[in-house]
Structures are given as C-alpha cells and as structure tokens.
C-alpha cells in the first residue's frame, strides 16, 4: 500500500495533481500487477491536512506508537523533517493588493521608468510596500520598515531600510506625471470606465507645528521656482536682500508650502496644505494634487483641467461645488467642447439665484429625497433648482437653534450701555450663523430679524445647479451633482482609513510624495470595492481587510532549509479573489531546501 500522485492536464495547459491511497493487486488473467485506488485525498494543493494528520495519529496508535504532539517532533511526524515553526504573519491583504498592483501594470511601469537609472532594483517593491502600509496598517515610514520586517509578508521584499523608503519617495515625485497617466489608462481598461463625468474637490490637512514654512517663490501651480544664478556677474557683488525680492522667471508669488489658510478641518490656527482630487463617477480617484496651504480654491480646477487635457478622456463634464463657480472657471471648463455642472450659492443674493427662486414651476420627483425643476434664466446656460425634503427638515431645525441662541444673547441687551451693546454686536459678528439673523435698529438696539428668518426658510433643502451642456436631462444633472459625494467619501476614507494625517514629514517633496502614496492606496481600495460590487458583494475596504488579514503564512526553518505554508482561505476571501479575477496564494508559498541563512 502506498500514496501515489496522479496528474491531469487542463485545456489551458495547466496541470492539476491528485493524491491517492493505492495498492497493487495481481491480475491472474493478464498475469500482471494492476494498481487499485483505495481512497482519493483530492487535489494536492487543497488537501485537508488536519484530517490526514488525524488519520496518521489513529494508525500510529493501532500499531502502538504515540504521535509527537508539538515542536520539531511534530514537524517530523507530518513529513517535514528538520524544520521548526518560527512565525506566522498576515498575508491576505498584501497578497491581494500585490495582485491588483500587477494587474494594473504599476510594477512594470515603475520598473520601466527606473530602467537605465541608478535606482535600486527593488525601488518598485519598496513603493508597493509603502502603499500597502497605507492601506493595511498606516504608520510613519520609519515604523513601516519594522512592519515589513516583522508584521506582514510582502511578496518579494523581506526587509527595507528607512533610507530606501525616502529615496523611493523622492524618485516617485520625479515620475509622478508618467505614473498617473499610465495608471489611469490601465484602470480605464481594467474597469471599462466610461469617463464622462469628472468630479473635483479640495480639502486641507494640517500639521501639528506652530510655525509655517518660510515663503519662497512659486509659479501659478504652486511649484517652487528657483533663482537662475548662471548669468550673474562674477565681478559684481549683488545685494542678497535685493536679489531675494526679485522674482525669478515664471514666479507669480511667494508662499510657504505649510501655510495658514482657510482650514476645512476647523484648524485655522495650524499650518496646512491644500490637497485636490479628481474622481470618476464610479469613485475611482484619477489623480491628486498638492498646493500651499493659503491657496484659494477657485483657480485650481483650471490647472487640473489643463493637466488632464491630453489624457484620452473624450468629452468630459466637470462637476464641482459652489467654490469653483466663477465666470473665469466656467469659460475655461466649457472651452474645447467641454462642459460643467457647478453648484451655485442660493444665499449669495446673485442675480441668477434671485431669478431662479422667483421662477414658478412644478418639481419633478427624482427619488424619495430629491425633487428638481429647470428654470429659464440664460440662453447660454441651464439652471436647475433641487429640493431635498430631508435636508429641509434639518435646515429648519438648525435655524431654529440659531435663532434661539441669538435671542438668548440679546435678550437683556436693551439694558446695556451703547458701548457694551456695540461690544456684544462685535461678538455676534464673528459668528456667521447668528449674524445673518441679526438686525440693528436705527436706535442701536439688537433684534432678531423676522424678515431674514422668513426669507431663509424659503431656501430650506434647496440648492441651485448650473450647466453648459444642452443635452443632459434635468434628472441627470441633479444626480450627476449628487455623485460629488464620492469625492467627499474619498476624503473621509483618506483621512480616517488610510490616515492621511498625521504627516510625519516637514520637507515639501516628502509631503507631496506622502499624498501620492495615499492616493495609490485609495485607488487600490476603491477597485476592490468596485469589482466586489459587480459580483454582488456589498463590502467596504475595511470589511474586506478584516477577512483578508485572517489569511496567514506560517514559516518553518531549520537545517533542512526554509518552508512557508499558507492557511486555508475563508469562503469570503475566495469570493473576493474570484470577483477580482486574482489567484489565491498557493498552499506551499516557499520551499527552499538550501540551509537557512538566518
């Protein structure tokens, strides 16, 4: 009786092996021995190992031999002589991300860009490890080196130094444009993206430091512009202070990268940088940008459109919120056959907002919480008034709370001296929510303005959209703008799941590279969610990660060499790999018969 291996070749050329318990029987008719299969253990790469071990234990007891229970003796008992179990690390998350990294061709692209340079051959693996770290266990770059060495199995990378990480980040900035373009082309092909809408929004991230960076000369894209000293007169001693004030060619202003500005995190007291992101309607982040912290939002969308102009996007309609609705932006986005869907401030008192609210018409039901109507204001643009009943209820509750607070603050103000009343008026003016409902009488008394409260109530749950596209339906305009929430979800995940901050860097280039790593991690996470949804798997990246990290790889080592074996994947992990069309890790991950070197 013996265990034999039989092999079958599939149509695609791959081979599948099966383990069988067999013995030879004599065939008196044919006068030869024939093999008879007593039991089939199944595919060799999908063995039920615990069941086999239990069978071995039972048989050894029958013959009066007790099986070893643990340690090296256990390894010898199950047929792995000379090996000792030394560690177990999570494999599932890194394995799946590496599969996507390869499917998108990012590894090939980075190696091609690094070819012919003096870059370390493992620079691609180092960058993947840093991206995987953001997606799996966000930490500083120094902590990431320890994570790679001890807490995860990264295919093709056993260890990395912090210097190698910083060198890889510096090089990443040099190839940013080629990388972003190449990655988008691969993603569009993999997901069959129909890029007709591009959503753009900005956020800010602050730094726990009191002092902003020193102002330096920058171009209109916020990039550093260096002085050109090659034509300086060697015989003249120029005044250094005067030279510092002379703008170099291409410079439009001076600003520190980490600067104070209008914080979207309510931290105006700390230096910050501005981060922009373009996203498709499916939530796939196309690219990210960084600007100094005091940069105004309005002109940024023009730069973004120009940088994506040469991409194979076809006709694109840009979707952005009301911070980007300037006339100059609208002209720029509509140029060359493009288009836009932009939010408009209803409370701005603009001519368009006033005209839109004065137009009569019936609302069209789009969904349970959205009604729309198109109003005729301009010959060149279309305007759509949207109404959200749920938001209207929230707006009414917020206003009632503000009016109550305002009335409580001014309830005893008539008894104050004019000077004290003016001081109270100054305090209220710093609170925009309260100030918009305040009225000052000719005699200097403070009152809640009933007319403003009534006018504000008419705007509950409403917002105004404007578009240059003549063919979109009213419903598509409203739903297209509503999908801007995908960008907001991207910011939320980047800050809370991938830990965009705290940023453990102070140099501008390192901060920019850090944002790029976060973008790549978000891209991989979004692709996992998108492909899972097409397979009817409603999952988010954190939920998928919880399942993936239960797939471990165990390492055995000793005089006989090194041996790595993976744990069986759960049904959820199998479904996820099937949805992404990725292969599961093999049962035997490494088998190195050479003597171990560590």
Residue 240: predicted pLDDT = 46
Burial degree of 549 (CB within 10 A; 0-12, 13-18, 19+): middle
Residue 52: predicted pLDDT = 73
Q: What are phi and psi of 190, to 5 degrees?
A: -65, -40
Residue 313: predicted pLDDT = 67
Mean pLDDT (10-residue bins), the chain, 598 residues: 75 76 78 79 76 70 53 44 82 96 94 88 94 95 94 94 94 94 85 77 91 91 76 45 67 91 90 93 90 91 86 77 88 84 82 85 86 89 92 94 95 93 94 92 93 92 91 88 86 91 92 96 94 86 94 86 88 93 90 56
Residue 541: predicted pLDDT = 94
352 contacts 377 by C-beta, under 8 angstroms: yes
372 contacts 474 by C-beta, under 8 angstroms: yes
State how far the Cα of 162 lies from the Cα of 191, in Å rounded to an integer: 35
322 contacts 345 by C-beta, under 8 angstroms: yes
Q: Which helix (H) or strand (E) holds 304?
A: helix 300-307
Quick check: bond before 502 cis, omega within 30?
A: yes
Residue 281: predicted pLDDT = 82
Look at the block and give the residue holding tokens 């008026």. 425
> What one-character DSSP code corresponds to residue 266?
S
Tokens of residue 251, six digits: 């410079």
Q: What are phi and psi of 89, to 5 degrees?
A: -130, 150
Residue 172 CA from chain centroid, whole number: 17
Q: Is this prediction's pTM over 0.85?
A: no
The CA-based dihedral angle spanning residues 146, 152, 154, 158, taken in that order and rounded to the nearest 10 degrees: 50
State how far the Cα of 213 lies from the Cα of 223, in Å rounded to an integer: 14
């Amino acid at each position: 009786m013996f265990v034999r291996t039989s092999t079958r070749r599939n149509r695609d050329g791959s081979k599948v092996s099966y383990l069988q318990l067999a013995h030879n029987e004599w065939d008196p008719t044919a006068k030869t021995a024939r093999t008879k299969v007593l039991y089939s253990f199944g595919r060799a790469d999908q063995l039920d190992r615990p069941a086999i071990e239990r069978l071995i234990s039972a048989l050894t007891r029958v013959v009066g031999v007790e099986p070893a229970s643990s340690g090296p003796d256990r390894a010898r008992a199950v047929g792995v002589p000379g090996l000792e179990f030394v560690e177990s690390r999570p494999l599932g998350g890194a394995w799946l991300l590496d599969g996507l990294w390869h499917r998108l061709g990012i590894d090939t692209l980075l190696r091609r860009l690094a070819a012919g340079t003096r870059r370390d051959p493992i620079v691609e693996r180092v960058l993947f490890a840093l991206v995987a770290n953001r997606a799996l266990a966000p930490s500083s770059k120094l902590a990431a080196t320890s994570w790679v060495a001890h807490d995860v199995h990264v295919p093709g990378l056993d260890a990395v130094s912090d210097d190698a990480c910083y060198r890889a980040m510096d090089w990443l900035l040099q190839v940013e444009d080629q990388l972003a373009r190449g990655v988008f082309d691969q993603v569009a092909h993999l997901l069959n993206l129909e890029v007709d809408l591009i959503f753009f929004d900005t956020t800010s991230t602050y730094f726990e430091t009191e002092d902003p960076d020193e102002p330096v000369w920058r171009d209109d894209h916020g990039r550093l512009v260096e002085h050109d000293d090659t034509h300086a007169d060697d015989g003249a001693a120029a005044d250094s202070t005067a030279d510092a004030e002379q703008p170099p060619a291409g410079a439009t202003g001076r600003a520190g990268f980490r600067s104070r500005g209008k914080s979207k995190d309510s931290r105006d007291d700390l230096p910050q940088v501005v981060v922009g992101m373009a996203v498709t309607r499916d939530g796939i982040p196309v690219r990210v940008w960084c600007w100094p912290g005091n940069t105004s939002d309005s002109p940024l969308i023009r730069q973004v459109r120009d940088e994506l102009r040469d991409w194979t996007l076809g006709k694109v309609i840009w979707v952005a919120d009301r911070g980007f609705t300037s006339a100059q932006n609208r002209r720029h986005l509509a140029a060359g056959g493009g288009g836009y869907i932009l939010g408009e401030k209803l409370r701005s008192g603009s001519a368009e907002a006033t005209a839109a609210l004065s137009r009569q018409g019936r609302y069209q039901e789009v969904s349970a919480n959205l009604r729309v109507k198109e109003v005729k204001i301009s010959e060149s643009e279309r305007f759509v008034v949207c109404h959200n009943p749920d938001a209207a209820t929230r707006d009414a509750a917020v206003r009632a709370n503000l009016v109550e607070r305002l009335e409580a603050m001014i309830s005893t103000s008539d008894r104050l001296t004019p000077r004290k009343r003016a001081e109270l008026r100054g305090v209220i003016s710093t609170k925009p929510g309260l100030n918009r409902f305040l009225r000052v009488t000719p005699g200097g008394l403070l009152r809640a303005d009933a007319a403003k409260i009534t006018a504000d109530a008419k705007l509950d749950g409403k917002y105004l959209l404007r578009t240059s596209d003549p063919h979109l339906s009213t419903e598509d305009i409203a739903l297209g703008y509503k999908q801007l929430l995908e960008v907001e979800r991207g910011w939320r995940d980047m800050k809370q799941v991938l830990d965009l901050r705290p940023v453990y860097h102070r140099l501008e280039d390192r901060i920019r590279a850090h944002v790029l790593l976060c973008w790549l991690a978000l891209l991989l996470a979004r692709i996992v969610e998108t492909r899972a949804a097409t397979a009817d798997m409603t999952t988010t990246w954190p939920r998928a990660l919880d399942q993936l990290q239960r797939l471990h790889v165990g390492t055995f080592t000793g005089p006989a060499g090194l041996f790595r074996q993976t744990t069986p994947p759960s049904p959820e992990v199998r479904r996820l790999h099937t949805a992404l069309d990725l292969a599961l890790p093999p049962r035997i991950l490494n088998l190195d018969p050479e003597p171990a070197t560590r």
